[in-house]
């Protein structure tokens, strides 16, 4: 039997009381309003962040969202304004939307984009449709690990906005409207607390709502409307997804790099564009510039093909003007460069008696059918969505 | 503030009352963290992307190897303990340094301590899970990977092994090798009777050797035959995929 120990009980009660006191004091410390702060010029503006439920079109996966940047209604509103505001560039002439226009499915429909000083970049602007789903690093070369990081970069890029974040922050803090937007989005109490990281987070939040409407012809087909695609489009779909064998259609190998419901590749590929004597000879080394790995030279991110009919010209350098040219390229063999992806080979059916085996290429009908299928990925509801339009118009 | 205060006070009261209960907790068996490390090899050595490997009378290179594994289960006589419903193991991520395939450690918590007699692994995605699709899972779930799902077959791509062959030793790796296995028909389950002791900090290794995978009953899988250079995309023709999936038990080694 346990002994009764009055002294021990008293000690436990004393300890408990002490602990309770600490808890009470701790709670007071964290929740009380901050002491008077002459810089707290925004506290009168309500801060009431409301979570934003990211739409999920049928069959689409759940979008990953970083824990330190939850999407809120006010965060999106701020990000949308920043995205469309030329204030971010040094001479206030270019915004993110200058190279990512809604009517081009958030591309600029140019081979390469041009910055504020009229200097042409090396690469084409990438579509931002469904960019929130992209799990690989961002940009054609994957130099950015996240949307939050990516959004920081164009401001200081000398051939894009050619500005400094210090200058941008100065403009934002002095702006008649932006401090209130930052307050509502992030709960800051003073305009001095605006940071570039907050601006980037807000832009990333806006970019996460650039999502398919789920109403393209292809989506309607996937969701149970067999008449959404005509016979030719259906043939194209079968070849795109390598499922045409049973009906005598060749594999077009498209889905290996543009798979899944967002038709986005989640990796980097040498898709056989350039003939080079050695892997060091690529004019644009792409992924290799980031990793330093010679086998990554000439590899580029595979973009989404959603709305691809709206995003011409094609490839990282915009070398192909039409989808027909793209199909012509993929129908042929690659260039025989050692790090070309294995799926880059002549399409079509094996030619009997050839060793190594050669393929027939695609017929004119087959190419046309694939192009027609690609057009079924067009989503006018997305680009006409008023929630993602320029708020300054 | 008041809400937090009440919450803290409630917690404190509950703690105090629990201490006065007088009952004793049931004795639970001790558990530990247990790590399975998955490795990819070629001929016993760590797999390296784009490395020229001797193969039959010619050479091959590999550039991609990833796989789903289902229902990973520790066995002890008639007892079993499932470690995981599904894992996706990517040995050749874009971030793999110096093209060396990465080792993939997976830690399981709360595994009952003890001496197990083996482990059972499902190769691919088990049929019940394969009936679902990426949109059915949260963004952190292995099966949310839309690029590992084959819309055309309504199946996950169980594994991807890609590379090239230099069939005439010309120095040009001009023949593509694309092995993407999928569909319930080629799902396989293998048991490895290897003693595995689980205790705090214990670990075991699961190795997949691609040279063994392409060695079928002691003979090289003949990559000079065009039909053997890729898995058919005709769902009615899973011959090559079945050959490889049938051989994964030979290609797998479990050690502790």
Mean pLDDT of A105-124: 92
> Pick from A197, A212, A227: which residue ends a domain?
A212
Identify the CATH number of the domain in which residue A294 sits.
1.10.760.10
Residues B178, A339: C-beta atoms closer than 8 Å: no
Q: How many domains does chain A have?
A: 2
Question: Quick one: A180 and A270 in the same domain?
Answer: no
pLDDT at B192: 97
Task: Return the residue of B nearest to A339 by Cα.
Answer: B50
Rounded CA-CA distance A136/A150 in Å is: 12
Residues A344, B176: C-beta atoms closer than 8 Å: yes
Q: Which residues of A74-91 are buried (b: 16+ CB within 10 A; e: fewer)?
A: bbbbbbbbbbbbbbbbbe
Nearest Cβ partner for B94 among A61, A245, A267: A267
Question: Quick one: A245 and A338 in the same domain?
Answer: yes
Query: How confident is residue A131, by pLDDT bands cut at 50, 70 and 90?
Result: very high
Q: Is residue B202 part of a domain?
A: yes
Q: Is residue B13 part of a domain?
A: no
Closest listed residue to residue B73, CA positions, set B118, B39, B25, B104 = B118
Q: Is residue B21 part of a domain?
A: no
Residue A30 pLDDT exceeds 80: no
Question: Quick one: A364 and A282 in the same domain?
Answer: yes
Give the other-Cβ count within 10 Å of A61's Cβ. 23
Question: Quick one: A185 and A227 in the same domain?
Answer: no
From chain A, pick out residues whose CB is under 8 angstroms from the CB of B153. Answer: 243
Mean pLDDT of A245-267: 87
What's the gap in Å between the CA of B183 and the closest CA on chain A?
13
pLDDT tens for each residue of A312-352: 999 999 999 999 999 999 988 889 898 999 989 888 888 88
Question: Quick one: A100 and A156 in the same domain?
Answer: yes
Block residue for tokens 């490997």: B53
Question: Quick one: A204 and A237 in the same domain?
Answer: no
Q: Is residue A6 part of a domain?
A: no
* Preferred mutation among B65, B100, B152 to probe A, highest tally of A CBs within 10 A: B152
Question: Quick one: A260 and A354 in the same domain?
Answer: yes
From chain B, pick out residues whose CB is under 8 angstroms from the CB of A63. Answer: 139
Query: Long-range contact list for B76-85, CB < 8 A, 24+ apart?
Result: B76/B114, B76/B115, B76/B116, B76/B117, B77/B117, B80/B120, B81/B111, B81/B112, B81/B116, B83/B34, B83/B36, B83/B108, B83/B111, B84/B108, B85/B126, B85/B129
Question: Quick one: A78 and A194 in the same domain?
Answer: yes
Nearest Cβ partner for B135 among A60, A137, A264: A60
Q: Which of A99-113, A128-142, B10-24, B236-250 has the lowest mean pLDDT?
A: B10-24
Q: Is residue A136 part of a domain?
A: yes
Q: Is residue A7 part of a domain?
A: no
Q: Is residue A231 part of a domain?
A: yes
Residues A61, B233: C-beta atoms closer than 8 Å: no
pLDDT at B1: 40
pLDDT at B183: 92
pLDDT tens for each residue of A188-235: 999 999 999 999 999 999 999 999 999 999 999 999 999 999 999 999
pLDDT at A334: 86
What's the gap in Å between the CA of A222 and the closest CA on chain B?
9
Closest listed residue to residue A83, CA positions, set A146, A155, A171 = A155
Question: Quick one: A247 and A269 in the same domain?
Answer: yes
pLDDT at A393: 86
The residue that leads in pLDDT, A50 or A119, is: A50
Dihedral of alpha carbons B78, B84, B86, B92, sign? negative
Rounded CA-CA distance B151/A338 in Å is: 30
Task: Return the residue of A nearest to B180 by Cα.
Answer: A256
Task: Return the residue of B nearest to A26 by Cα.
Answer: B5
Q: Residue B198, CB half-sphere, CA atoms under 13 Å: how many?
A: 26
* Preferred mutation among B96, B134, B157, B233 to probe A, highest tally of A CBs within 10 A: B233
Q: Is residue A240 part of a domain?
A: yes
pLDDT at A22: 45
Mean pLDDT of A344-371: 88
What's the gap in Å between the CA of B203 and the closest CA on chain A?
30
Q: Is residue A15 part of a domain?
A: no
pLDDT tens for each residue of B196-240: 999 999 999 999 999 999 999 999 999 998 889 988 777 777 899
Rounded CA-CA distance B49/A269 in Å is: 14
Residues A356, B174: C-beta atoms closer than 8 Å: yes
pLDDT at B121: 98
From chain B, pick out residues whose CB is under 8 angstroms from the CB of A246. Answer: 234-236
**Phi (first) and psi of residue A199, to 5 degrees:** -60, -45
Low-confidence ranges of chain B (pLDDT < 70): 1-26
pLDDT at B23: 54
Within A212-308, where are the H helices?
A: 217-222, 231-240, 287-291
B164 three-class SS: strand
Q: Which of A204-213, A262-271, A291-300 has the lowest mean pLDDT?
A: A262-271
Q: How many domains does chain B have?
A: 1
pLDDT at B25: 60
Task: Give the DSSP letter string of B65-133.
Answer: EEEEEEEEEEEETTEEEEEEEEEEEESS-TT-GGGBPPPEEEEEEEEEPEEE-EEEEEES--HHHHTS-
Residue A357 pLDDT exceeds 80: no
pLDDT at B3: 44
Residues A336, B172: C-beta atoms closer than 8 Å: yes
Question: Quick one: A234 and A138 in the same domain?
Answer: no
Task: Return the residue of B nearest to A302 by Cα.
Answer: B147
Residues A28, B1: C-beta atoms closer than 8 Å: yes
Q: Is residue B229 part of a domain?
A: yes
Q: Is residue B2 part of a domain?
A: no
| Whether the predicted interface score ipTM is above 0.90 | no
Nearest Cβ partner for B147 among A58, A65, A260: A260
Q: Is residue A142 part of a domain?
A: yes
Question: Quick one: A119 and A242 in the same domain?
Answer: no
Q: Rounded to whole angstroms, what are the CA distances from B234 to A80, A345, B241?
A: 46, 19, 11
A345 three-class SS: coil
H or E element, residue B203: strand B202-209
Task: Return the residue of B nearest to A58 by Cα.
Answer: B135
Closest listed residue to residue B153, CA positions, set B124, B183, B133 = B183
Q: Which of A133-142, A238-247, B68-77, B233-242 has the lowest mean pLDDT?
A: B233-242
What's the gap in Å between the CA of B98 and the closest CA on chain A?
7
Q: Is residue A238 part of a domain?
A: yes
Paired tokens of A3: 């002994």
Domain of residue A361, residue span: 217-377
Q: Is residue B4 part of a domain?
A: no
Domain of residue B51, residue span: 26-255
pLDDT at A170: 96
> Pick from A160, A187, A212: which residue ends a domain?
A212
Residues B149, A339: C-beta atoms closer than 8 Å: no
Question: Quick one: A151 and A232 in the same domain?
Answer: no
Residue A80 pLDDT exceeds 50: yes
């Amino acid at each position: 039997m346990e002994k009764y120990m009055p002294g021990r009980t008293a000690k436990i009660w004393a300890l408990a009381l002490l602990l309770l006191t600490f808890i009470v004091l701790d709670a007071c410390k964290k929740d009380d309003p901050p002491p008077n702060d002459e810089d707290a010029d925004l506290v009168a503006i309500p801060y009431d962040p409301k979570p934003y439920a990211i739409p999920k079109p049928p069959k689409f996966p759940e979008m990953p969202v970083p824990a330190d940047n939850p999407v809120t209604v006010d965060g999106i509103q701020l990000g949308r304004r920043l995205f469309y505001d030329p204030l971010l560039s040094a001479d206030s002439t270019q915004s993110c939307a200058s190279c990512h226009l809604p009517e081009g499915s958030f591309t600029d429909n140019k081979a390469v984009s041009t910055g504020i000083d009229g200097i042409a970049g090396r690469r084409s602007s990438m579509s931002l449709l469904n960019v929130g789903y992209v799990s690989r690093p961002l940009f054609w070369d994957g130099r950015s690990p996240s949307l939050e990081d990516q959004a920081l970069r164009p401001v200081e890029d000398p051939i894009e906005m050619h500005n400094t974040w210090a200058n941008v922050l100065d403009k934002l803090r002095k702006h008649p409207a932006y401090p209130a937007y930052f307050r509502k989005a992030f709960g800051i109490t003073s305009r001095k607390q605006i940071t570039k990281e907050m601006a980037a987070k807000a832009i990333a939040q806006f970019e996460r709502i650039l999502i398919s409407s789920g109403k393209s012809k292809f989506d309607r087909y996937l969701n149970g409307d067999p008449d959404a695609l005509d016979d030719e489009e259906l043939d194209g779909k079968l070849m795109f997804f390598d499922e045409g064998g049973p009906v005598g259609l060749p594999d077009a190998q498209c889905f290996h790099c543009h798979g899944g419901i967002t038709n986005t590749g989640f990796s980097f590929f040498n898709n056989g564009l350039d003939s080079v004597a050695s892997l060091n000879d690529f004019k644009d080394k792409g992924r290799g510039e980031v990793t330093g790995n010679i086998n990554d030279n000439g590899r580029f991110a595979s973009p989404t093909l959603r709305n691809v009919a709206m995003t011409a010209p094609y490839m990282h350098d915009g070398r192909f003007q039409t989808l027909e040219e793209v199909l012509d390229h993929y129908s042929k063999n690659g260039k025989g460069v050692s790090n070309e992806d294995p799926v880059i080979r002549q399409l079509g059916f094996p030619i009997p008696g050839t060793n190594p085996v050669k393929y027939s290429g695609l017929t004119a009908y087959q190419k046309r059918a694939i192009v027609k299928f690609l057009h079924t990925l067009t989503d006018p509801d997305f680009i006409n969505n008023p929630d993602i339009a320029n708020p300054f118009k | 503030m008041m809400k937090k205060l009440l919450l803290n006070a409630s917690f404190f009261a509950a703690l105090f009352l629990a201490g006065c209960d007088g009952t004793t907790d049931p004795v639970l068996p001790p558990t530990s963290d247990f790590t399975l490390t998955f490795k990819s090899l070629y001929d016993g050595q760590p797999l390296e992307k784009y490395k020229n490997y001797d193969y039959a009378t010619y050479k091959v290179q590999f550039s991609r190897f990833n796989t789903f594994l289902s229902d990973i289960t520790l066995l002890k006589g008639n007892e079993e303990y499932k470690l995981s419903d599904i894992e996706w193991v990517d040995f050749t991520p874009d971030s793999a340094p110096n093209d060396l395939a990465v080792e993939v450690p997976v830690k399981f918590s709360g595994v009952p301590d003890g001496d197990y007699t083996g482990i059972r692994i499902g190769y691919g995605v088990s049929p019940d899970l394969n009936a679902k699709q990426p949109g059915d899972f949260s963004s952190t779930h292995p099966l949310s990977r839309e690029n590992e799902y084959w819309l055309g077959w309504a199946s996950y791509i169980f594994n991807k092994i890609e590379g090239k062959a230099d069939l005439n030793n010309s120095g040009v790796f001009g023949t593509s090798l694309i092995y993407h296995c999928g569909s319930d028909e080629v799902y396989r389950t293998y048991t490895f009777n290897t003693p595995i002791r689980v205790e705090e900090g214990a670990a075991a290794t699961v190795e997949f050797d691609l040279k063994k995978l392409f060695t079928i009953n002691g003979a090289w899988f003949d990559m000079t035959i065009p039909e053997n250079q890729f898995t058919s995309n005709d769902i009615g023709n899973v011959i090559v995929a079945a050959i490889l999936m049938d051989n994964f038990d030979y290609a797998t080694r479990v050690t502790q």
